[in-house]
Amino acid sequence: MTSRRNIEPPVEIEGVADAEGTEPDRLDKLLQRGHVVIPANPRHRGVVPKAIGAEMGVKVNANLGTSRDLMDVSMELEKVRVAIAYGSDTIMDLSTGGDISQIRKDVLSACKLPVGTVPIYEAVCRSSGKGGPLAMTEDDLFGVIEDHAKDGVDFMTVHCGVTTKTVQSLKRAGRTTGIVSRGGAMLTAWMEEAGKENPLYENYDHLLDLAREHGFALSLGDGLRPGSIADATDAPQVHELMVLGELVMRAREAGVQVMVEGPGHVPLDQIEANVRLEKAVCDGAPFYVLGPLVCDVAAGYDHIAGAIGGALAAYHGADFLCYVTPSEHLSLPTAEDVRRGVVASRIAAHAADVARGRGGDWDLMMSRARKAFDWEKMLSLCMDPERAREFRERVAPADSRTCTMCGEFCAMKMVDKLLRD
Amino acid sequence: MTSRRNIEPPVEIEGVADAEGTEPDRLDKLLQRGHVVIPANPRHRGVVPKAIGAEMGVKVNANLGTSRDLMDVSMELEKVRVAIAYGSDTIMDLSTGGDISQIRKDVLSACKLPVGTVPIYEAVCRSSGKGGPLAMTEDDLFGVIEDHAKDGVDFMTVHCGVTTKTVQSLKRAGRTTGIVSRGGAMLTAWMEEAGKENPLYENYDHLLDLAREHGFALSLGDGLRPGSIADATDAPQVHELMVLGELVMRAREAGVQVMVEGPGHVPLDQIEANVRLEKAVCDGAPFYVLGPLVCDVAAGYDHIAGAIGGALAAYHGADFLCYVTPSEHLSLPTAEDVRRGVVASRIAAHAADVARGRGGDWDLMMSRARKAFDWEKMLSLCMDPERAREFRERVAPADSRTCTMCGEFCAMKMVDKLLRD
């Protein structure tokens, strides 16, 4: 192992360890190894930190934020409220429309969960006001990163692996869907226009200095992630991942917390391989997957395609699931879409936790409540109690112990006495 | 191999083979081996048969039917329409309320998809009018089966594996949720009350005669399937499966088409084992899984918990997915619940097909349409085009090539020219 700086725990570690049912010493060890991150910027007032990575419960992120077509700040703050209410672990503000800087401040003050951003979005937006998006300078980009850090952003997605070489690999690949990452596309277009290397790669040491100085975590974005089943696990994706693996090592040497983002669109038979590859190439760095979507044709229901992929990815070792909403591929999500997306990802995360030996007590309580016909308890134990209550109360069953699906032919009721005797 | 009767293909096999992209000879071989079933009762007028099993596309079933709390026949017929419209492969009428016999006739005439039933429901309902549900006689039960056969029911769920011995195993198991199968509970209660063996097991040869004579397929029900994660893959479940394995062999010897039903509630880490166990114990008989649900706490969203389990089960070899609706565990589904349930299961089935090398062309067409910004094509290729269009048209994007999520920062748009040069 190369000599390296310690990672300074960004917060008192006891509470975080307690929430995960682990020991502070163990958590600190995993943090130092880089197998767990705890994104928590000291400037994010009141942030409730979460541990993401090996041996921890699987975490869920909800993306929100304006676009230029829809820049209603109150709607975005409502999405923050909904994401928190339905149990998201973190939030990312991906705004690209309106007063982005003010929206971020509003989100940070409304949200005690760790907040992430993608600074390249704001850098490009600022530049597009003066000479077009590609007029951005390296200083503009690092200036935005510093602004985000000072505002208290807990983790930032930086697409450092989109390099001259990986873009060459992309051009050779003859992909079906090219680039589908906004940050990846922005950087690629900028690099081609400027004829320069990616500043986030070229000046990675400076980025690490900023991260350590301000206390934010890095999330190494997958700017070349495949956007279709046809492109899954192709050369550009794997090339980029190998660059990210090197950058993980450099972050650790610099004492900076780092996680790695992953696809995207992945068929079921390639999910395990994707997780194992990331864990091997990035030496166990926490893996943050976007879905993944297990097919391309589920628009309108992509939260379900993403829950299938996310559950399987997390079961095989992915640590952090970025939700997908039903409006993915179609439009900016509404607050109701955010709710559905968060719950779908939480089901995926919880299913993986259960299969990995965590969190089954919740299911046991639910099943005991079912056996006891204790409806109030059942409803309160649901992931989304309000939604469950709506279904339950749609029509009153004749026998309040049962539900309208089976009524008097409720199986548990029919043999209840028999199995107790 | 023991001597056995040929299975008479219930229909011209060419069309079915063609729909599956296989050769008639191959399909007939799989049918004779019992690795594929094609449920199609000659009395079901105009039925469009489907092949279920090895080497075929994964199929989806939608359950519907009245309960005594909700016996609105027009609503059930609307559910039939919705299930067909959103792509279910088969339908099961599980009615237990109102004029069950007439509802079944109505469903059969409204539905060209193969239709399944669970005759024990009607037998118990008829008896409960005269002396209580447990007053049912063996003759009552077989009478109902014959009625269903004559009406043209294509496949029937028969819980033949709920035997005196397997119920003893259940009593020893100390389960969290006892019995959750209605048919299983009815038979168990009846057996205990009458002090007799399960008539469907005791008179299995008679059942086989009826099936062969009338040309319906058997679906061996899992009356003791676990109803909670805590009970998953326990002794009663496996005991019952072993009985079903023997009954599969007897059905094949008698030239009767047979498939096997499976759980239920199964954590992610036990799904593959459940599929392999069924395939081994039942010598490759088609496996029809109910979900499975990968956790117990998702009521209100159980279609998602079921899609996760179903996708993984089908990827590992399950052939037929019974959908779960969002109202599972809470109430009888509405037509909208049926729509959501069917689409969720179709996503699961398709994801498995893609991973098993079938059906990826559809995804490729979609991804090419995305790359070409061809929105009409994209929408028409979605599993649920109307739903997708609702999302798309919620707010018009400024640039009609893009959507309101990313707008001018659409990744594919930003690098479109670059990757074409």
Contact B411, A120 (CB under 8 A): no
- Residue B330's nearest CA partner among A397, A338, A207 is A397
CA distance B222 to chain A (A): 13
Instruction: Give the one of A67, A383, A414 whose C-beta lies nearest to B297's C-beta.
Output: A383
Contact call for A409 and B329, based on CB within 8 A: no
Q: Radius of gyration of chain B from Cα atoms?
A: 22
Contact call for B308 and A347, based on CB within 8 A: yes
- Residue A381's nearest CA partner among A400, A362, A353 is A362
Contact A106, A81 (CB under 8 A): no
Q: What is the pLDDT of residues B163-201, one digit of tens each?
A: 999 999 999 999 999 999 999 999 999 999 999 999 999
Let me know how many helices (H) and strands (E) chain B has, helices first: 18, 10
Q: Is A1 on the interface with B (CB under 8 A)?
A: no
Q: Best of B301, B337, B374, B393 to disrupt the A interface by mutation (most A CBs within 10 Å)?
A: B301
Which residues of chain A have a CB within 8 Å of the CB of B391? 299-300, 326-327, 330-331
A263: three-class secondary structure by DSSP:
coil
Contact call for A331 and B360, based on CB within 8 A: no
Q: What is the pLDDT of residues B204-261, one digit of tens each?
A: 999 999 999 999 999 999 999 999 999 999 999 999 999 999 999 999 999 999 999 9
Residue ranges of domains in chain B: 13-355, 360-420
Q: What is the pLDDT of residues A212-244, one digit of tens each?
A: 999 999 999 999 999 999 999 999 999 999 999
User: What distance in Å separates the CA atoms of residue B79 and residue B152, rounded to the nearest whole number?
Assistant: 20
Other C-beta atoms within 10 Å of B212: how many? 17
Question: Is residue A2 scored above 60 in pLDDT?
Answer: no
Query: CA B220, B223, B224 angle in degrees (round to 5)?
Result: 125
B44: three-class secondary structure by DSSP:
coil
With CA atoms as reference, the chain A residue closest to B370 would be: A177
Other C-beta atoms within 10 Å of B162: how many? 32
Mean pLDDT of A79-84: 98
Helix (H) or strand (E) holding A320: strand A320-322
State residue B156's pLDDT score: 98
Contact call for B67 and A404, based on CB within 8 A: yes
Helix (H) or strand (E) holding A412: helix A411-420
**Count of alpha carbons within 13 Å of A277, Cβ hemisphere only?**
19
* ipTM field: 0.97
Question: Is residue B1 scored above 60 in pLDDT?
Answer: no
Q: What is the pLDDT of residues A264-298, one digit of tens each?
A: 999 999 999 999 999 999 999 999 999 999 999 99
Which positions ≥6 away from A210 have C-beta within 8 Å? A142, A145, A146, A149, A216
Q: Is A374 on the interface with B (CB under 8 A)?
A: no
DSSP A183-237: HHHHHHHHHHHHT---HHHHTHHHHHHHHHHHT-EEEE--TT--SSGGGTT-HHH
Q: Is B181 on the interface with A (CB under 8 A)?
A: yes
Q: What is the pLDDT of residues A185-221, one digit of tens each?
A: 999 999 999 999 999 999 999 999 999 999 999 999 9
User: What distance in Å separates the CA atoms of residue B297 and residue B120, rounded to the nearest whole number?
Assistant: 30
Question: Is residue A94 scored above 70 in pLDDT?
Answer: yes
Band the pLDDT of B3: cuts 50, 70, 90.
low
Helix (H) or strand (E) holding A377: helix A375-381
Q: What is the pLDDT of residues B31-64, one digit of tens each?
A: 999 999 999 999 999 999 999 999 999 999 999 9
Contact call for B185 and A398, based on CB within 8 A: no
User: What distance in Å separates the CA atoms of residue B412 and residue B20, rounded to the nearest whole number?
Assistant: 35
Pairing of strands B36-37, B52-53: antiparallel
State residue B21's pLDDT score: 95
CATH architecture of B13-355: Alpha-Beta Barrel (3.20)
Positive or negative, the Cα torsion across A106, A107, A113, A116? negative
